A and B are shown apart, each in its own frame.
Chain A
Amino acid sequence: MRLYSGFALLKAGFNGQKNWQSLWRSPEPKPAYDAIIIGAGGHGLGAAYYLAKQHGIRNIAVLEKGWVGGGNTGRNTTIIRSNYLFNESAALYDHAVKLWENLSQTLNYNVMFSQRGVMMLAHNVHDVQVFKRHVHANRCNGVDNEWLSAEQAKVFCPPLNISANMRYPILGAALQRRGGTARHDAVAWGYARAADDLGVDIIENCEVIGIRRDATGAVEAVETSRGLIRTKKLGVSASGHTSVVLGMAGVRLPLESYPLQALVSEPVKPVFPCVVMSNTIHAYISQSDKGELVIGAGTDAYTSYTQRGGLHISSHTLEAICELFPMFRRMRMLRNWGGIVDVTPDRSPIIAKTPVPGLYVNCGWGTGGFKATPGAAHLLAWTMAKDEPHTINAPYTIERFRDGYLIDEAAAAAVAH
């Protein structure tokens, strides 16, 4: 792999930037691999990278129906934070944030991880109680999160409207300074390049159409649009399509796939210094390095695989944005798009073994999978390599639903009285 650096770029400038190589090869699939991962998003590519890098498995393929990073990796609003309430969640997401902090250097690819701070707004007494509970729990779990008054929140984010005349005035905010954003495409490309360098075959335009199991019931091979490929270790990291893929192995999961939208404004000069989220009035916003305001909307009410949501959903989000930042009414929507998010009943992911030997799954990230990318990838790789979960993902089993050990962040945050 040719090292990326300012110097290399400078050198290449003198010969017209001609000598750069492909970030990853486009190999034909081999007849068999030691491990296969379905889904070339950040999670899947990252898992391949960590399998190769940390677990010594080099004969790996990542199969992708479309193109690298074309799913939710390239469709999200890139928010990264770890100020979750429960011990299990804080451990999981902070594991990811710690990996994010060195990811550009690890991959020798600038993923533009920007710790600009994620601020979550409290609009009523209940919000204040919930966020303070988060702040306390986070501190005790070694995760940074601090409580700000409305005035302090305004200092941190000057465009914020903290007037008492708002329908839901801002009573304060929880700020995680280590939170922020990253360049989503770069994460996929960076992992792809690094994994390819370790010998991982990234095979695009290769749709999985069946999973074959041997007499014992264990995974034996995958049938793909590019032929049969044998493997005894199969990891599925296919976000919205996970239940479709797992269905091929006869595994039923507690997942439903919903459309999730996001949008950007036209680019403007720096005006928005951080990430702001408001769960109560359903909006989140940041500004990309290019200058676009990046705005997330909620999911639609119904399941769908169309990768598009209703206009009323994005309208509702823009209502909230314009209420929080009334100077943005004249800003204009440049692009709107949708992804398919797979949601579990407790809104927490599954990173686990399945009842089928040799079959592993990483799914159920709902609306928040991007922030976990390196963590999820690392844990999926660990679980596949050792055939047992890491202590961090041990609670994130499929069986927790049967036994009632839910990790319900959403319920903990969203119940109003």
Chain B
Amino acid sequence: MLLIKCPYCGERSELEFSYGGQAHIVRPLIPSDITDEALTEYLYHRDNIKGVQAERWRHLHGCGRFFNAVRDTTTDHFQATYKIGEAQPASGAKSDG
């Protein structure tokens, strides 16, 4: 059970959060215009990084807000959490923006 720092509420148990997958995937502005390959990339392909990755969490049973986190998937240690819209803090290896 991880300890996660919600940027709005502070440190809480993982039980209060839901995981939201890889962060910084931008939905195409008009998805109808994109190719099948681009759609596949958007819908299904994830970096699945072994190491430091940026990911989304939602403080579901708290403030309800989505936020981003930088976590090392080989240790589960968080390096940072930050609000939606903020840039990923430059720490450790870079994940796909």
Give yes or no for direct A-B contact (beta carbon below 8 Å): yes
Interface residues of A (CB under 8 A from B): 241, 243-244, 252-257, 301-306, 310-312, 345, 401-403
B73 touches A306 (CB 8 A): yes
By a CB distance below 8 angstroms, the chain A residues around B46 are 254-256
Q: Point out the residue from B19, B37, B41 that lies within 8 Å of A302, measured CB to CB.
A: B19
Query: Contacts A253-B45, A256-B46, A311-B1 hold; do A305 and B74 have CB atoms under 8 A apart?
Result: yes
The answer to whether A252 touches B55 (Cβ under 8 A) is: no
Q: Is B11 an interface residue (CB 8 A)?
A: no
Which listed residue (A244, A304, A402) contacts B76, Cβ 8 A?
A: A304
Chain A residues whose CB sits within 8 angstroms of the CB of B15 once the complex forms? 312
Chain A CB within 8 A of B33 CB: no
The answer on a CB contact under 8 Å between B74 and A310 is: no
B41 neighbours in A (Cβ, 8 Å): 252
Asked if A401 meets B44 with Cβ closer than 8 Å, knowing A305-B74, A310-B2, A311-B1, the reply is: yes
B43 partner, pick from A255, A304, A345, beta carbons under 8 A: A345
Are A302 and B43 touching (Cβ within 8 A)?
no
Contact A306–B74 (Cβ < 8 Å): yes
- Given A312-B1, A402-B40, the answer on whether A301 and B48 have CB atoms closer than 8 Å is no
Most chain B CB within 10 A, of A254, A302, A306, A401, is at A302
Contact of B40 among A254, A256, A303 (CB under 8 A): A254
Q: Is B27 an interface residue (CB 8 A)?
A: no
Query: Within 8 Å CB of B44, what residues of A?
Result: 254, 345, 401
CA distance A303 to B23 in the complex (A): 12
- Given A255-B46, A257-B73, 10 other A-B contacts at CB below 8 A? A243-B48, A244-B50, A252-B45, A256-B46, A256-B48, A306-B73, A310-B1, A312-B1, A345-B44, A403-B36
Task: Tally the A-B contacts, defined by beta carbons under 8 Å.
Answer: 57
Q: Which of B19, B21, B39, B45 has the most CB atoms of chain A within a 10 A radius of its CB?
A: B45
Q: Are B43 and A401 in contact (CB under 8 A)?
A: yes
Measured between beta carbons, the chain B residues less than 8 angstroms from A306 are 73-76
The proximity string for B residues 1-17 relative to A, scoring 1 for CB distances below 8 Å and 0 otherwise, is 11000000000001100
| Residues of B29-82 contacting chain A, CB below 8 A | 36-37, 39-41, 43-46, 48, 50, 53, 55, 71, 73-76
- Kindly state the separation between the CA atoms of A389 and B2 in the bound complex, as whole angstroms: 42
* A241–B73 CA distance with the chains assembled, in angstroms: 12
What are 24 A-B contacts with C-beta separation under 8 Å?
A243-B48, A252-B41, A252-B45, A254-B45, A256-B46, A256-B48, A257-B48, A257-B73, A301-B14, A302-B55, A303-B53, A303-B73, A304-B73, A305-B50, A306-B76, A311-B1, A312-B15, A345-B43, A401-B40, A401-B44, A402-B37, A402-B39, A402-B40, A403-B36
B75 & A301 in contact (Cβ 8 Å cutoff): no
A244, B43: Cα distance in complex, Å: 19
Q: Tell me, in angstroms, the Cα distance from A302 to B56 when the chains sit together.
A: 10
* Bound CA span A257–B74, Å: 11
For B48, the closest partner residue in chain A by CB is: A243
What chain B residues lie within 8 Å of A345 (beta carbons)? 43-44
With both chains docked as a complex, state the minimum distance between the C-beta of A38 and any C-beta of chain B, in angstroms. 15
Interface residues as binary, B76-93 with A (CB distance below 8 Å gives 1, 0 otherwise):
100000000000000000
Write the nearest CB–CB distance from B87 to chain A, whole angstroms. Answer: 22
Q: How far is the CA of A305 from the CA of B72 in the complex (A)?
A: 9
Nearest CB of chain B from residue A337's CB, rounded to whole Å: 16
A306 to B14, CA, bound (A): 17
Chain A's nearest CB lies how many Å from the CB of B77?
10
A345 to B53, CA, bound (A): 20
Residues of B within 8 A of A312 (CB): 1, 14-15
Q: Which residues of A contact B40 (CB under 8 A)?
A: 254, 401-402
Q: Which residue of B lies closest to A308 (CB)?
A: B76
A310 contacts B14, CB within 8 Å?
yes
From residue B6, how far is it (CB to closest CB) to chain A in Å? 15
Residue of B nearest to A259 (CB): B76
**A312 to B1 alpha-carbon distance, docked (Å):** 6
Q: Which of B39, B44, B73 has the most CB of A within 10 A?
A: B44
